Structure 1
Amino acid sequence: MSELGHDLHALFPAQREILHALKLESAHYRDLADRHHKLAQQIYRIEAGLDPASDDRLEDLKKQRLSLLDEVAAMIAERQDA
């Protein structure tokens, strides 16, 4: 999978405005976005064969990434409900 496919704006296209507002207003969101970007890069490099890693390590990274996405989705939902 392309690294670009893991961009938060690509994953949540209908919430672009909310993501932009969160980026401006929330240090926690900025931290999540930064951590997500780094995890997505690591996963991409492993899947592309650029960095070695065990299947367990790759699975762990993907679980971490999903956890971050769940947290971002919760922040988006909170904004939509407000």
Structure 2
Amino acid sequence: MLGENHSLFIEYPELSDRIKELKTSDEHFKRMADRYHHLDHKIRGLEGSNIPTDDHHFTQLKLERLQLKDKIFSILSN
């Protein structure tokens, strides 16, 4: 769905306390979460506006977000 918010707190509401904890105690996790947030914000901005972007660039952004989400979930589930 275009423009849908995929923030970590929306994607993993049951893990929100763990997300907050790791963002304050684990610098590597914080950098990944911040990058994920930046990508999600950028993707939603592109979806919701008329800013031209080529399909390859857009696909790469979405792929990076997905890969980060997988890595973040792996950390959260340990």
| Match of residue 76 from structure 1 | 76
| Match of residue 64 from structure 2 | 64
The runs of at least 4 consecutive aligned structure 1 residues that moved more than 4 Å come to none
1:25-67 Cα shifts (integer Å, max 9, x gaps)? 1001110111011111111121112422111111110000001
State yes or no: 1:42 paired with 2:58.
Answer: no
* TM-score normalised by structure 2 residue count: 0.88
State yes or no: 1:22 paired with 2:22.
Answer: yes
How many pairs were matched up?
77
The percent of aligned pairs where both chains have the same amino acid is 29
Unaligned runs of 5+ in 1: none
| Match of residue 55 from structure 2 | 55
Q: What is the RMSD of the two structures over their aligned residues, measured on CA atoms?
A: 1.3
* TM-score normalised by structure 1 residue count: 0.84
